[in-house]
Chain A
Amino acid sequence: MAPRPCAVIGVGQTKYKRRRDDVTLDGLVREAALRALEDAGATFDDIDAIVIGKAPDALEGVMMPLLSLCDALGAIGKPIHRVHTAGSVGASTAISAVNLVESGMYDTVLTIAYEKQSEGNATWALSGGKSGGQGAGGTFAPWIRNYIARSQAPEHIGWMVAVKDRLNALKNPYAHLHLPDISIEKVRESPMLWDPLHFLESCPSSDGAAAVVLGNDDIAKKSGRPPAWVISHAKRTEFGQFPGRDTVRPQAGVECSEALYRKAGITNPREQIDCAELYVPFSWYEPMWLEGHLIAEEGEGWKMTDAGDTELGGSFPVNMSGGVLSSNPIGASGMIRCLEAANQVRGTAGEYQVPGAKISIGHAYGGAAQYYAMWMVSSELNPEF
C-alpha cells in the first residue's frame, strides 16, 4: 500500500511572549489547539488521535506532561502520545502525526507542541541539567566561526539575518519580538554573547504553543479550507561527537534534505521550492542551513543572504514569519516552522505571504546539530516539477 495522502487542514498559534503568566500549561496548549480546530472547522469530537511534543520535561519540571494535559486537549478516551527529539521535536512531532494519517489508521489527527520557558531555566536545561553550562550559543559559536573561516563570509552577514528576521516579525502578530527600530548598527553594537554572536543575533526565550490539524485526502477535500498537502517528510540523526565529524555541514542534515527532495521529486531545490521556514536560532544558521540543506552550493549560502535573496520579496524568502530569531518556545519552534510553511502554500500568511507560493519547507534541528526533521508542503496533492 502507498501512504494515505495527508494535508494540513487547520493551524493555531498562541501569542509568543517572554512570560504567559495569564495561563496554566493546560490553558496554553488548549489555546493553540482550539484555534487550530476552529481553523479546520472541526471540534475535539472530530479528532481520532493526538500527538504532542516538547523539549526536555525539565524545562517546566513536569514529567511526561501528556498525562496532566490530556484533559485540556480533549484526549480522554483517545490515543495520545509524546515525541521528544531535542530541538527538532516540534517538526518531528508534526511528522509523527503525519505518519498516523498516512498509515490509514487515523483520519484526523491533532498535533501540538509547546514550551513555557518562563517556568524554568532554559540554559540550565539545555546544558544537560548542569550549572554553569555554556548554553546552546556556546555550543554553536565555534562551529559558526568555522563556517566563517571556511566560506570567507564577511561579518555583516549575521547582522543582516538578525535585522531581516525581525523586520519580517513586524508583519506577524504572533511573533514574540517586535523591534521596529532594529538596524545593522543596533545589532553590531549589542553586547557580544558568544563571539561572533551578539545579543541581537540570538533567539529570545518564549512561552507559547502551536497546533496543527491534519486530515487524510477525504477529510481535506471535505473541509472546505485550503489544504497544505504534506508531500514529503524526512528525519535523520547522527552522533553528536566523533573524530572527523563535520559540525558546520553535518551529514545527517545533508542526508535529511536529500531524502526529502527525492521523495517529492525535487531536483533543483533553489528553483523548485518557493520559500522556506528554517530553524535559525542564531543568525549565522541561515547561510549554514542554505548550504547544509542543499539550497545553495557550499560557500555560496551567505551570498544569497548578502544579495537580499532571502528577504520577503527576494528570490528565495527564508523565515517570512520572523523565524526562531523572533519567537522561540523551544519545543514548539520546529512545529511553528512547519505550520508557517503550510500558511504560505495555503495562502493564509497575511502580511508575510509570499505571493503565489506553491511549495515550501519547514525544518528543525536539535541536540549538537545532530537531529534533523523536515517536511515539504504543497498547495497541490501532486505538484509537477
Chain B
Amino acid sequence: MVSLAEDVAIVAFEQTPSHAHFNDSEPAMIMPCVNSVIEQVGMDRHDIDFTIAGSCDYLSGMPFAFVMNIDAVGAWPPVYESHVEMDGAWALFEGFVRLQSGDIDTVLVSGSGKCSPGSYREGFSLQTDPYVHAPIGLDPRTQAGFQAQALIAAGKATERDFAEVVARSHANAKDNPYAQLSGDLSVDELLAEPYLQQPLRRLDCPPTSDGAAAMVIARADKARELCDNPVWIRAIDHRIDSHHPTLRDLTDSPSARIAADRVGLHDGPVDIAELTVTYSPEEIILRDALGLNGETSVNPSGGPLTGSPFMAVGLTRVIELARAIRNGDGGRGVAHASSGPALQQNLLCVLEGDG
C-alpha cells in the first residue's frame, strides 16, 4: 500500500437524481450540486483552493462542451481549476493527489454527463481502437455481451446469476431516492424476457441517464474544521488492462486486482462495496477480482443498473458509499469506478468513517 503524506476526507457531497432525460443544460445540472456542497461546508466558493471536473465532450456531441461547465463552478474572479476527460472519479483521483502536496487545503470535485440527447451506443463505439474496432461499430454493449458469453463458456456464471444481480440491484434501489429504476423483480420473470444482446437482456444493461455529482475534499485539519463527520479517503488507485479484447481474459479483471492490492482493500473489513456494474455480469467479475465474500454488501444503492449517468456514475459510487458510512451502515468500504469497454480501466477508493 502506498504511504500517504496527508490524510484527506470527504466533507460534503451531493448528487442529482439519475434522470432519464434532464430537460436543461449540463451546467444547470451541475450547479445545484456545487451550490449544495459549498453551502454544506459554509465556505465562500472563492476560498476553495482547487477545482477539478470530469466530463466527456462526446456525450454532449460538441467539442469544448466542458468549457460551458465552468459556469456551474464559478470562474470569476479567476480560479485554480482543471478538467479530466473522464468520469468524475478520476477528477477525485487528481484532487486527492493534489492535496498530498500539502500546500493547499480544499478541492471541489465534480462529474457530469448527459447521455439522453444522443445515442450512447454509437458514441461509445468511438472509444474503441479507431483502425480495427471503431469501423465495425464495436460498441460497449457488444463487448459486454462477449464478456457475458465468456463467463458462461468458462463455467463461471449462468444467465440466472446475471438475473439475480439485476433483481437484487432493483430491490436495493427501492430505498434510493436518486435511482431511476427500482422495484421487485423475480429472477424467473427476468429470465423470461427476450434477449437484447444475447446472453444479455434489457435489464442486464444500464438505462440511459443524465446526472451530475460533486464533493468537497479537504486535508485533515481543514476537514475537521469544515464538518463534524468527515469520511476519510484511506487510499485511491486506478489501473488499466489492454484495450484489445482478444489480448485479455474477459472473465477476469487483472487491473482491478492490482488496484485492490494497491489500496490495501483487505487490510480491514469491507462492509460495503459500491461498484460500477454497468452490465450485470460485471458484478460477478468484480466480486471475484476484489475478493469480496458474503460479508460485503454489494451495491446497496442499486448501482448503475438502476441509474447510470456516465461521467458522474463513478463519482456517484463514492458518494453513495460515503453516505452509507455516514448513516452508520458500515465502517469501511470500497467504491469502484470503471472506464472503457468490458471493464478495461478500474479505479478503487477506500473510505472509512470517523470512528
Contact = CB atoms under 8 A, between A and B. Distances in A.
Q: Do A and B bind each other?
A: yes
Interface of A: 1-4, 24-25, 56-64, 66-68, 70-71, 75-86, 92, 96, 99-100, 102-105, 125-126, 128-129, 234-240, 242, 251-252, 255-256, 259, 367, 370
7 contacts: A58-B58, A67-B345, A77-B258, A79-B238, A81-B93, A103-B5, A128-B64
Contacts of A96: 82, 94
B63 A125 contact: yes
B130 A62 contact: yes
Nearest to A250: B78
A59 B56 contact: no
A85 B82 contact: yes
Contact of B63 (A67, A71, A80, A129): A129
Interface string B68-109: 001100011111111111100010011001101111000000
A4 B5 CA distance: 10
A236 B70 CA distance: 12
Contacts of A76: 240-242
B242 A71 contact: yes
B85 A57 contact: yes
A60 B131 CA distance: 12
B66 to A, nearest CB: 7
Nearest to A372: B78
Contact of A24 (B63, B131, B244, B340): B131
Contact of A79 (B98, B133, B237): B237
A242 B78 CA distance: 13
Contact of B240 (A1, A78, A105): A78
Name the residue among A68, A83, A126 with the largest chain B CB count within 10 angstroms. A68
A234 B86 CA distance: 22
Interface of B: 2-6, 56-58, 61-64, 66-67, 70-71, 75-86, 90, 93-94, 97-98, 100-103, 123-124, 126-131, 133-134, 237-244, 247, 254-255, 258, 339-341, 344-345
A64 B56 contact: yes
B340 A63 contact: no
Contacts of A370: 67, 75
A105 B2 contact: yes
Contacts of A86: 64, 67
A61 B93 CA distance: 26
The 3 closest A-B pairs by CB, nearest first: A56-B63, A103-B100, A252-B78
A285 to B, nearest CB: 19
B100 A104 contact: yes
Nearest to A126: B63
Given A80-B240, A251-B77, 9 more contacts: A56-B57, A56-B64, A68-B129, A71-B243, A77-B240, A99-B101, A128-B62, A129-B61, A237-B78
Given A103-B98, A104-B100, A84 B83 contact: yes
A237 B64 contact: no
A24 B2 CA distance: 36
Contacts of A63: 56, 58, 123-124, 126-127
A84 B66 contact: yes
B244 A77 contact: no
A239 B76 CA distance: 6
B78 A84 contact: no
B57 A67 contact: no
A90 to B, nearest CB: 13
Contact of B81 (A77, A80, A235): A235
Contacts of A80: 240, 345
Contacts of A1: 5-6, 100-102
A103 to B, nearest CB: 4
Given A85-B83, A86-B67, A2 B238 contact: no
A84 B5 contact: no
Contact of B75 (A59, A84, A92, A239): A239
Given A63-B123, A77-B254, A103 B101 contact: yes
Contacts of B238: 79, 81
A128 B63 contact: yes
Contacts of A61: 126, 130
Given A1-B102, A56-B63, A239 B71 contact: yes
B239 A70 contact: no
B255 A105 contact: no
